[in-house]
Amino acid sequence: MSGLRLARLRLVCTDPDRLAEFYARALGFSRRAGGVELGGLPVDLLGGAARPYPAEVPGWSPLFQHAAIVVSDMAAAYAQLRAVPGWTPISRAGPERLPDRSGGVSAFKFRDPEGHPLELLAFPANGVPEAWRRPGLHLGIDHSAISVADTGRSVAFYERLGLRVAGRSLNHGPEQARLDAVADPQVEVTALGLPGGGPPHVELLCYRGDFDRSGSRPSHDAAAATRLVFAPGSPERVAGLRAGLADRIAADESDRLILRDPDGHWIEVAAAG
C-alpha cells in the first residue's frame, strides 16, 4: 500500500480560534482555515467538544495521545512556550535529556490550554535525522504517540492498516520518570513507519505494570478524541481497507472509514488527504 501516509491530525476542542492562537504564538504553527499547520502537516481544530479533556490523564492511560514537535533548539523553544500562558506541564523538571539507550533526545511534555498532550523534541547534535536538517526553530511534527495496553495487539492492528515496525526500545530510569510524571516507568516504545519512510510516523507507548485502563474510550465528540487521519491514496485502497479492517469500523462514509483501534483511539482513512 505504497500511497499510505499520515495526512493530518484532528483535535476536538471548545474554542478553535483561541487554541489556534496558542499554537501560533507558543509553538510556531501557521494558522490556516480550520486549524493550524507545521512543517506541511495540517492539524484540524474541530469545535463543539461535548466533554472537556479529563484533568491529569496519566501517560499509561489509553486516553493519552501526544504530538511530538521537533525543535532545533530546546532552550529557545522552551523559553518561547513559557512566554505564552494557558498551558500546563506534564514533565516535572523542565526539558529532560534521555539516556542514549532511549535515543539521547531532549524532550518536554505538556498540555495545551484545552488539555491535549504535546511534546517538544530535540535530537542530539550528532544524531539529527536528515528530514529535520533544515533552518528554523519549530520544524514539524515527528510523530503522534498513543498509549496502548498491549504492544503486540496494537502492532497487529496497525500492520493491517499498512504500517510496519521501524524501531523498538524500552525506556526507563529517573529521566523518563520526570519526563512522563509516572513513577518508575518501564515503557515499551514501538515506532511504526509508513511506506514513504519519512515523518510523521506513529509511536506506541506501552507502560508495563498493573494499571486500571478501564473506562478510557472517548466518544467521537470528546476533547480526548484526537484523530489520526491516514490517506491511502485512492478510493480503491479505501475499499481494500474496508474489507481488511471490517471488525474495527465505527462508521463507513463511502469515501472514508472511521475506525477504533484496540484501545479506542480514533482513526480515519480517507481517499483524499
Domains and CATH numbers, the chain: 5-55+65-236+245-254+261-270 (3.10.180.10)
Q: Residue length, the chain?
A: 273
**Cα(first)–Cα(last) distance of the chain, in Å?**
15
Residue 86 half-sphere exposure toward CB, CA atoms < 13 A = 18
What pLDDT sits at residue 237?
81
Radius of gyration of the chain (CA): 17
DSSP string, 48-103: --SBPPPTT--TTSTT-EEEEEEES-HHHHHHHHHTS-S-EE-SSSS-EEPPGGGT
Of 47-56, 91-100, 177-186, give the lowest mean pLDDT range.
47-56
Is the pLDDT assigned to residue 152 strictly greater than 50? yes
CA distance 38 to 41: 6
Q: Round to whole Å and give the CA distance between 270 and 255.
A: 6
Whether 39 and 140 have beta carbons less than 8 Å apart is answered as yes
pLDDT at site 2: 52
The model's pLDDT over 36-86, given as tens digits with 9 standing for 90+, comes to: 999 999 999 999 999 999 988 899 998 999 999 999 999 999 999 999 999
pLDDT in tens, 251-267: 998 778 999 999 999 99
- Partners of 140 in the β-ladder: 70
Q: How far apart are CA 256 and CA 272, in angstroms?
A: 9
Q: Are strands 41-46 and 35-38 parallel, antiparallel or unpaired?
A: antiparallel
In this predicted structure, what is the pLDDT of residue 23? 98
* Residue 56, pLDDT score: 83
Q: 200-238, pLDDT tens digit by residue?
A: 999 999 999 988 887 678 899 999 999 999 998 777 888
Q: CB count, 10 Å around CB of 48?
A: 9
pLDDT band at 137 (very low <50, low <70, confident <90, very high): very high
Residue 160 pLDDT:
94
Is residue 196 over pLDDT 90?
no
Residue 53 has a pLDDT of 93
- Residues of the chain with pLDDT > 70, as a percent, come to 98
Among 222, 219, 226, 88, CA closest to 145: 226
Q: What is the pTM of this model?
A: 0.95
Mean per-residue pLDDT for 172-201?
Answer: 94
Q: Which regions of the chain does DSSP assign to beta strands (E)?
A: 5-12, 30-32, 35-38, 41-46, 65-71, 88-89, 96-97, 106-111, 117-122, 138-147, 164-172, 186-193, 201-207, 227-231, 249-252, 256-260, 266-270
Amino acid 255: pLDDT: 78
Task: Copy the grid coordinates of residue 215.
Answer: 473506562
Q: What is the mean pLDDT of the chain?
A: 93
Q: What is the mean pLDDT of residues 242-258?
A: 90
Phi-psi region of 250 (alpha: psi -120 to 50; beta: other; left: phi over 0): alpha
Q: Judge whether residue 1 has pLDDT over 50.
A: no
